[in-house]
Amino acid sequence: MSEFEAEVKKAEKELEQSLVPVVPEERLDDEFLGDLKMQAQEYGQKFQEAADKAKVFAEEKMAWAGDKFKEIQNKDPKEIIEDAKEYARQKPGQTILISAAIGLVIGFLLRRK
């Protein structure tokens, strides 16, 4: 046996020792799909929890807005104007931001038509 043939045999033995047994492809697919299904279920559950929290938050804010609307309905318009002026004196920065936001909303609504 030549030196070349000995090296080839040595390389073949090393290759055989380093080979990893192959798992059937369908088993890999099943494991992969199972992992994907578990992740999808986890994300679905997280999404449902977030939706529930958003629903509770929206219900609370709608109830608060309804209460404020009832308060405003029972007030005289002059009293509402005085309250707005007082609020603007106490919090001028917030008043400017609120005015800008209302202006943007009205601008978007008018632009759509």
Asked whether residue 77 carries a pLDDT value surpassing 80, the answer given is: yes
Spatial CA neighbour of 87 closest among 77, 76, 96: 96
Q: What percent of the chain has pLDDT over 90?
A: 27
Q: What is the pTM of this model?
A: 0.42
Q: Are residues 69 and 80 in the same domain?
A: no
Q: Are 34 and 41 in contact (CB under 8 A)?
A: no
Residue range 18-44: mean pLDDT, rounded: 71
Say whether both 50 and 86 belong to one domain. Answer: no
13 part of a folded domain: no
Same domain as 70, residue 28 = yes
**3 or 103: which carries more pLDDT confidence?**
103
The answer to whether residue 14 is domain-embedded is no
Whether 2 maps to a domain, the answer reads no
Q: Are 95 and 88 in contact (CB under 8 A)?
A: yes
